[in-house]
Each structure stands twice: as C-alpha cells, then as structure tokens.
Amino acid sequence: MSREKELEETLVQIGLKIAKRGEGALIIVGDIKYKELIDQTIPPFKAVENPKLLESLALIDGAVIINREGIVKAYGVMIESTSTLKNFGTRHSAAISASKKPGNLVIIISEEDKKVKILKEGKMIMQIDALQKGVEKSIPPTVKILESVGAGTLGAIGTSILVPSLGLSLFPGVILFGSAYYLAKILSKK
C-alpha cells in the first residue's frame, strides 16, 4: 500500500470514529497558512503510526495540519478563510479555503450530520455517512478512488457541498462527486 493511500485510509477511519460520536474536526493534508491557537507541545509525528493521538488532536478546536509525507505538523490552528458559506460555520469555510490550494486534501467531519466530507481544489469530491451500516468495509475501495481523483476529474459541484443528489453512490454510505465522464471510467474499471 502506498504511503499516500495508507494516510488517506487512516484519516477516513479517524473521521468516521469522530463523526459517529457526533463530534467535528478539520484535517488538512498539504501546505496552508495558519495561526496557532494553542501551544504546540506535542512534537511532529507520523499520522499512520499514532492514529489515536491524531484523533485526540483533531478534537481540539481548530484544524490539524499534516504535510504530504504524513507528518502531523500542527494542531489547534486557525486557517485563514477566503470563502464563506451561507448557513455554515467557520470550519466549513476554512475547509473550502484550504482545499483550494492545489495538491491539498481536506477532510471535514461534521458533528451535525455525522458525515465525513473530502475536498480537493475547492470542491467536495466525496461524502461518507458514518451512520451507514457497514461503511467501514467501503473504506479501502473508497480510498482507491480518492487516490486517483485528479484536477481534470472534478465536477462543478463547487461550494454546494450538501447536494448528495448530484453525486453517485458507489459503496454503502459513500457518495462520489465528479464529472460523468470520470464516474463512468471508474465504474468501467470495477
């Protein structure tokens, strides 16, 4: 398993655990400007080697920042938002802003609807329902698809991140958003 795929699988599993408890979090993989809200007393560590610590840090107000090598660099940080979403809070606005930077992957866990949303390039590409029975079995194939989603494949969902009717459900509890061409390619490979 590639390092990137292992990290994504770990983050989705952590996101599902947090969502099932009715709590929220924001995890950003990539490079983004941030302001520390609390002292960073825990030294950087590999996310996949200590998922319990990562889960605990994700529950602190603010975002968790992980570099592309999978090292947790910061936690409890504020992301400067360049976008706001009507009827949504600062976490969603920060998620959209952070996901606009090319190469960043953003996982937002919503305490209200108990869903894990995955964003790239300012768009939601996937939504996972933590309350769907057996959703954990969907993680490996979901991550395989997530790993292959690139800039040319993203649809025009934009900031309409709560419109599941515009997505395609491939696995129980998982909705994938993207262009019809890309979704057809994925389905033909199954």
CATH number reported for the structural domain that contains residue 149 in this entry: 3.40.1700.10
Between residues 59 and 83, which one has the greater pLDDT?
A: 59
pLDDT band at 136 (very low <50, low <70, confident <90, very high): confident
121-132 burial, b at 16+ Cβ within 10 Å, e below that, comes to bbbbbbbbbbeb
Token representation of residue 84:
């706001």
Mean pLDDT over residues 36-47, rounded?
95
Q: How confident is the model at residue 161 (pLDDT cuts 50, 70, 90)?
A: very low
Token pair 């934009």 in the structure block, residue: 158
Cα-to-chain-centroid distance, residue 78: 17
The percentage of the chain sitting over the pLDDT mark of 90, rounded to a whole number, equals 43
Which residue bears the tokens 């019809």? 180
Q: How far is CA 148 from the centre of its chain?
A: 15
**Domain encompassing residue 47:** 3-189
CB atoms within 10 A of CB 158: 13
| Mean pLDDT computed over every residue of the chain | 78
Q: Cβ atoms within 10 A of the Cβ of 179, count?
A: 14
pLDDT band for 188, please (50, 70, 90 cuts): very low
Would the pLDDT of 128 be above 90?
no
* pLDDT given for residue 125 in this prediction: 82
Q: Which of 66-80, 92-106, 149-163 has the lowest mean pLDDT?
A: 149-163
Domain count, the chain: 1
pLDDT at 172: 54
The share of the chain scoring above pLDDT 70, in percent, equals 67
Residue 107 has what pLDDT? 95
Task: Taking residues 79-105, report their average pLDDT.
Answer: 79
Find which of 16-20, 146-150, 180-184, 185-189 is predicted with most confidence, using mean pLDDT: 16-20
